[in-house]
Structure 1
Amino acid sequence: MRRALVAITGLAASTTALVVLKAAPGTSQVAQDVPAGQPPAATGAAEDEETSPDATAAPATGKPKATKSARPQGSASATPSRTASGGATRTPSAPRTTTAAPQPTARTVTGPVVSNEFGNVQVQITVSGSRIVNAVALELPEKTAQSVQRSGEVDSRYSGTGGMVVARQGADLDTVSGATATSRSYQQSLQAAIDRARG
């Protein structure tokens, strides 16, 4: 029984020694590869440092070696895009068309000749739209010097762009003193011209 126990113990001891001796050479070799005074570093980290573009030593000329900066994938282009306020080309808008209101056409309308004891009276008016803009006496009595004077007074009071016809826009005019017949004849021819213009 003792022999069997001693044999098993010896076998176990020799197996343990064999295992320890086999593992020892590999461990001592790793230890020899690491330089003295430096802590062992992970293998993957050392490889990353050697292949990193930032770890490249500068050339002997003293100028640092240019390195390319990594651009993230999917990032926008390095060239800034130009905004509308920064001078980007704008499509010109269509020119604005302003339609001015058509100006009414001025037209002249002539009244009939109205006779009285001193002579004939005929009036012509200029109308723009529905407005009288001018009045002219085409014919007035001129048989005597007195009739010429009276006709002149009627014409200056009624006719023209600033006369009573334009001011009142009708034939309701004040009678010129001393030229009642001529004033009435003027008003009659004028009223007929107005009726034609509005008819």
Structure 2
Amino acid sequence: MRRAFLAITGLAASTTALVVLKGSPGTSQAAQEPPAGTPVGSEAAGAPPSGTDAPAAAPTAAATSSPWPTRGATRSPAARPTSRAPAPRTTTARPPQQPTTTRRVTGPIVENEYGNVQVQIVLNGDRIVEALTLELPSGPGETERHSDDVRRAYNGTSGEVVRRQGADLDTVSGATETSDSYRRSLRAAIERA
């Protein structure tokens, strides 16, 4: 509130001072310019034109009450506006952010009676964003079908590994050995990461 009052008061005083210093609307431009041969700045400071004995005009109250300095004007210490210094800004320093890097970590090959299982995870920072099987049991009949069930349940960007962000996975029905081997390879990959 105080700043707004000072700003409005200063604006009004500055405008008044500008009008007074520029002269009234009837004054011509030629009358405001110094005569040829007059040192620059002598009339602006209130000195009489050279060669005349006319006294300098006293500055008006509006010209001296402006809180902002004008060219060639001086203010007394009492005329200076009082304001409080702005409070220092405090900021909470953030730790520098490290660029996120995508990396792949591969678990070991885990053997079971149906074949080998090997898992690879893709990490973005510390977060698992994808899980892949590099090796699953394959063969005729149900072995291939159970491997496909494990792949669908655990792998991908929206599989159970990404949703749970760990190796605590539900066992795929009918594929207990393959599910256990998958979890062991996955745990080892997470530990390596």
Using the size of structure 2 for normalisation, the TM-score is: 0.52
**Structure-to-structure mapping, 1:49-128, within 5 angstroms:** 70-71=31-32, 74-75=43-44, 101-128=97-124
Larger Rg: 1
**Structure-to-structure mapping, 1:111-150, within 5 angstroms:** 111-150=107-146
The DSSP-based 3-state class of the residue aligned with 1:142 is coil
Greater helix proportion: 1
The DSSP-based 3-state class of the residue aligned with 1:152 is helix
Instruction: Confirm whether residue 181 of structure 1 aligns to residue 181 of structure 2.
Output: no
AA in 2 matched with 1:139 = E
Per the alignment, residue 158 of structure 1 pairs with 154
Cα offset for 1:147? 0.4
**Whole-Å separation in 1 of the counterparts to 2:126 and 2:29:** 84
The alignment yields a C-alpha RMSD, in angstroms, of 2.4
**Whole-Å separation in 1 of the counterparts to 2:119 and 2:186:** 6
Identity %: 55
**Structure-to-structure mapping, 1:4-15, within 5 angstroms:** none
Give the ranges of 4+ consecutive aligned residues of structure 1 lying more than 3 Å apart after TM superposition: 67-73, 100-103
Count of residue correspondences: 108
AA in 1 matched with 2:163 = A
AA in 2 matched with 1:188 = R
| 1:65-92, Cα deviation, whole Å (9 max, x unpaired) | xx9954486149xxxxxxxxxxxxxxxx
Structure 1 residues 117 and 70: alpha-carbon distance in aligned structure 2, compared to 1, 3 A threshold: closer
**Whole-Å separation in 2 of the counterparts to 1:127 and 1:136:** 12
Consecutive unaligned residues in structure 1, runs of 5 or more: 1-66, 77-99
Cα offset for 1:128? 1.1
| 1:27-48, Cα deviation, whole Å (9 max, x unpaired) | xxxxxxxxxxxxxxxxxxxxxx
The DSSP-based 3-state class of the residue aligned with 2:142 is helix
Cα offset for 1:145? 2.0
Consecutive unaligned residues in structure 2, runs of 5 or more: 1-27, 35-42, 46-95
**Whole-Å separation in 2 of the counterparts to 1:190 and 1:104:** 22
Using the size of structure 1 for normalisation, the TM-score is: 0.50
